[in-house]
Amino acid sequence: MNKLDSLKSLYKPYRFTIRGKCTILETTSGNFVVKKKPPNKDLISIFNYLKSRDFSYFPELFIDSRDDAYVYEYIEDKEVINPSKSEDLITLVALLHSKTSFNKEVSEETYKEIYEDIKNNIYYLRDYYLKYYDLFLKEIYMSPSGYEFVRNYSKITAALAFTERELDEWYSLVKEKKSERISLIHNNLSLDHYLRGDKDYLISWDKAKFDTPVLDLVKLYQNNFWDLEFTTIYNKYLAITSLSAQEQKLFFILISLVPEISFEGPEFDVCKNMRQKLDYIFKTEAFLKPYYATDTDN
């Protein structure tokens, strides 16, 4: 008997629905969500820790740690329209970070490794885009994607140069630090992982871990950059909890890192992918501009 069969025997559902990675059981004693356990992740311990920190905005679990799947309470999601949904989500995230934050001692290699990883990524992207720029310039008749890329190449290189300058400045701030602020982060934030039932909920905690809270903001931005007016979201977050100067700079660095455009596949798909990645660059520049404005700017 597989796990789903044993659960059906236990809960005797009259209907079950597969939705993504979850199975929803509708039973006479209530509705439940069944989801396979993530590898090497004890969500019971994580949820108990959150409760101990007075954070309870997650679905209850009903199956103990001996099982290979988790059974959650089913949350009937009430329809919430943006921007209310995004503001409610960021409120939960800010509370999560503020209630679970602590300083952790680190070695000088910790920040150096972060610096070198991002630096190497910048070098890779610079070489990657230069290669395609040279290839497209040699074409007698450029493809639509080639023309669009060449036309925006200076924007891409400017974004990479900005990220590298900010990275060097960030490293000068942190290279001698011996501690790092970390918190329990959700690590998979998107609007889809927020529900409003009898209260607000964050779901899909499978990737939760202890790390810098900056990563949650980066993930939310990257997952929903086009759907969110992120200045409002970011200010809402800062009104509840704070970021240090180096944390804010790291956040700006990570979201400004140019995404890799794929040039492989049908021309339509390449053009679509390029447009999405260029939109990301333009929107990120617009979001960051006020934080770097000077008194002499028009």
The CATH number of the domain where 135 resides is what?
3.90.1200.10
pLDDT at 242 over 90: yes
Q: What is the pLDDT confidence band of residue 64, given thresholds at 50, 70 and 90? A: low
Residue 181 included in any domain? yes
Q: Report pLDDT for 210.
A: 96
* Mean pLDDT within 48-56: 96
Residue 82 included in any domain? no
Percent of the chain clearing pLDDT 70 (strictly above): 91
How many domains is the chain built from?
A: 1
Q: Report pLDDT for 9.
A: 61
Residue 88 included in any domain? no
pLDDT at 42 over 90: no
Residue 38 included in any domain? no
Residue 211 included in any domain? yes
Q: Where in the sequence is the domain holding 222, given as residue range(s)?
A: 102-292
Crossing angle for the helix pair 214-224 and 245-256, to the nearest 10 degrees: 30
Residue 37 included in any domain? no
d(CA 181, CA 230): 23
* Mean pLDDT within 246-271: 96
Residue 93 included in any domain? no
With a CB cutoff of 8 Å and minimum separation 6, the contacts of 220 are 89, 90, 93, 189, 190, 228, 233
Most confident of 4-8, 12-16, 19-23, 136-140: 136-140
d(CA 16, CA 22): 10
Residue 231 included in any domain? yes
CA neighbor of 213 nearest in space, from 98, 109, 116, 48: 98
With a CB cutoff of 8 Å and minimum separation 6, the contacts of 111 are 171, 174, 175, 177, 180
pLDDT at 29 over 80: no
pLDDT tens-place string over residues 98-140: 999 999 999 889 999 999 999 999 999 999 999 999 999 998 8
